[in-house]
Amino acid sequence: MSSLGTERRDLREHLLKHRGTVLHVVDPFKIDVAEAVEKARAVTAAGMPALLLASTDYENFDEHMPGYVNAVRGATDIPLVLHFPPAPGQGFPTVPEADGVMLPALLGSDDAYYVWKSLLETYALSYGETLQPQPLLSAALTFGADARSYARMGTQPIEAVREEVEKYADLARRFGFDMVYLYSRNEQVSAETCRTFRQRLDQDQLLFVSGGVRTPAQVDTYLEAGADYVVFAGALEHPDWRRTLDELYLARTLPSPLPSSRV
């Protein structure tokens, strides 16, 4: 647990309480801050319990992100969670005003830095007596070919066969990660993979699934397979994103969004 101020809610407990829904990812290095503010208001009205700010690539993080976070914070009272890869010598980038930060161990990486050394480096550099976002320790696994993640972090895709999936699910349980994040950039995580992880993780370990989510049927499939959160980014990266947001909430496993979701 980080040295958070007492005024902040416990993010992990908050996510456990609201499991069984969708979360949106805004890429602060792709999405203009004005659009991010609009989306923050819309997903809050729709009932999402948090908003992720994430990107695989970033430049000038320290100059760009504090103002971005503060602008989005002004539009919503739901937790803002950062999810960015670390950089050697710097660890995971953070903004103190964010509510949380995912600290993933990339279990499929060829580079030990991205598997575990980055976690130790981040705690050594960032988590002292000053206010910091609450860390969420995550086991992150990639499925399907992903040249971009390999070039950036040495990430090898996990083979989606039962023996491999069970092995990594058991590792995640044994090491007590707060959450597991299953991701596919160019394909989709299978429902069976999701189901196997849910069956083998402890009940209080969160399961996130992301990658190529565009339809209500996909949301239903993942939630019915045991995902706690179905995460999407690209589905709302177009001018008519409000219509798509409404369509996603047609998933039978989700409550209908509030009328004010189209503000």
Percent share of the chain, pLDDT over 70? 90
Does 259 fall in a domain? no
Does 25 fall in a domain? yes
**Residue 195 burial class via C-beta count within 10 angstroms: exposed 0-12, middle 13-18, buried 19 and up:** middle
User: How high is the pLDDT of residue 26?
Assistant: 98
Tell me the mean pLDDT in the region 40-57. 96
213: domain range? 11-249
Strand partners, 91: 87
User: How high is the pLDDT of residue 135?
Assistant: 95
Entry field: residues in the chain = 263
Tell me the mean pLDDT in the region 195-220. 97
HSE-CB for 12 with a 13 A CA cutoff:
16
In whole angstroms, how far apart are CA 10 and each of 13, 54, 97, 210, 212?
5, 20, 14, 23, 30
Say how many domains are in the chain.
1
**pLDDT level of residue 154 (50, 70, 90 thresholds):** low
- CATH code of 85's domain: 3.20.20.390
pTM of the entire structure?
A: 0.92
Does 197 fall in a domain? yes
**pLDDT level of residue 150 (50, 70, 90 thresholds):** low
Does 47 fall in a domain? yes
Does 5 fall in a domain? no
Q: Which amino acid is at 226?
A: G
Asked whether 53 and 82 are in contact (CB, 8 A), the reply is: yes
Rounded Cα distance between 116 and 119, Å, is: 5
∠183-201-192 over CA atoms, to 5°?
A: 50
Coil, strand, or helix at residue 225? coil
**pLDDT level of residue 146 (50, 70, 90 thresholds):** low
Does 261 fall in a domain? no
| DSSP assigned state of 54 | E
Q: Which residue has the tokens 């103190």?
A: 96
User: How high is the pLDDT of residue 120?
Assistant: 94
Does 203 fall in a domain? yes
Does 113 fall in a domain? yes
Residue 39 sits at φ, ψ, to 5 deg, of -70, -35
